[in-house]
Amino acid sequence: MTRTLPARRPANPCFSSGPCAKRPGWSLDALGDAPLGRSHRAPVGRAKLARAIDLTRAVLEVPATHRIGIVPASDTGAVEMAMWSLLGARPVDMLAWESFGETWVTDAVKQLRLEDARVLTAPYGAIVDFAQVDFDRDVVFTWNGTTSGCRVPEGAAIPADRAGLTICDATSAAFAQALPWDRLDVVTFSWQKAMGGEAAHGMLVLGPRAVARLESFVPPRPLPKIFRLTSGGKLIEEIFGGDTINTPSMLCVEDYIDALLWGQSVGGLAGLVGRADRNAESLDAWVRRTPWIANLAQTPAIQSNTSVCLRVVDPSVTARPAAEQAAFAKRLSTLLEREGVAHDIASYRDAPAGLRVWCGATVETADVEALTEWLDWAYAVAKAELAG
């Protein structure tokens, strides 16, 4: 171990898991075409919103059968809009293996008070066994646990002939992981995760089965205006053509369009997934050769390639009380923040103590590689302090 400062530094120290790093080369000049001071319902505003939707479809390879809408309140708003509008028609399985999945469980059980909600959970570092899920019920789950670094593995057992709807929170998976659109009836995400966009805007993708449910089911509860997706028993199609329910920021819309155009320039979905995979593989290579750290995910098949969560496994640290272990992990992130080489990489407040490094496509692999040298440095400093 060395306490000498590493020679190279990440060119971009932003490794936050949301809002995430801006795309390489980004500057405010990219937003020069934003129609500021104009109504989002004017032709120029509608055209921008429609373009954002069209580019989303192109980059994510969303089939023409699915509607895409821009909705308020980020991914949270999109998930809750889906839950409040769709759940209650049949029993539901609520799956949770990290804090946001647990939030959706709370909404279903305590807020919506669904009478036939079955809750399936897994601890941090694992995911629910999909073989135990009943897809004849509606199913609500996160694809990639942002606070646990665990994702649904490829080929998860979601049947094509399911009777229930699948409602998937994909906010830290979209643009970094391939999603099986034919097996997902509702998909939600936000701009500020994998594409490094700005906050407060969510995306709601509805498959044909979800639309059919919306047009045939009247929820047994009042729906706030921002949750209403139907009028007179029919889907409000305008929402999915660029007519937003509330006023969007045209500056944020322009920024999202810029990110999507960049995504196309690096090879579309395949290019974005490849960039995230390379970043995660670079970090994982360091983890495998470093004895004091480990991935929180228990098996490689469920390791995230975006929100990579790490835990300290040095026995001299793990033998100490939990509060001291948490303080040690926090000290690592504080040292790196102070040096300006890694911002916002402490684990999420509800997750096990450790580190969380965003490896999505807007991050450069060279910056991940440089970060690992600083992680070694921070550990050496913190370990020396621990020894007194």
Assess whether 280 and 244 both reside in one domain.
Answer: no
**Which pLDDT band, with edges at 50, 70 and 90, does 2 fall under?**
low
Assess whether 327 and 237 both reside in one domain.
Answer: no
DSSP state of 137: S
Assess whether 320 and 236 both reside in one domain.
Answer: no
pLDDT of 223? 95
Q: Which residues contact 276 (CB under 8 A, 6 or more apart)?
A: 176, 177, 194, 305, 306, 359, 360, 361
Give the CATH number for residue 239: 3.40.640.10
Give the CATH number for residue 379: 3.90.1150.10
Kind and range of the H or E run holding 151: strand 150-151
- Which of 210, 244, 264 is where one domain is finished? 264
pLDDT of 1? 54
pLDDT of 24? 98
- Expressed as residue numbers, the domain containing 337 is 268-387
Does residue 252 carry a pLDDT above 70?
yes
The arithmetic mean of pLDDT across residues 70-74, rounded, is 97
Assess whether 247 and 277 both reside in one domain.
Answer: no
pLDDT mean across residues, the chain? 97
Report pLDDT digits (tens) over 142-166. 999 999 999 999 877 899 999 999 9
Cα-flanking dihedrals φ and ψ of residue 270, to 5°? -60, -40
Report pLDDT digits (tens) over 113-123. 999 999 999 99
Number of structural domains, the chain? 2
Does residue 350 carry a pLDDT above 80?
yes
Residue 247: other Cβ atoms inside 10 A: 11
Assess whether 42 and 123 both reside in one domain.
Answer: yes
Residue 8 forms part of a structural domain: no
pLDDT of 388? 79
Q: Is the pTM of this model over 0.85?
A: yes
pLDDT of 3? 77
Residue 52 forms part of a structural domain: yes
Report pLDDT digits (tens) over 275-299. 999 999 999 999 999 999 999 999 9
Residue 12 forms part of a structural domain: no
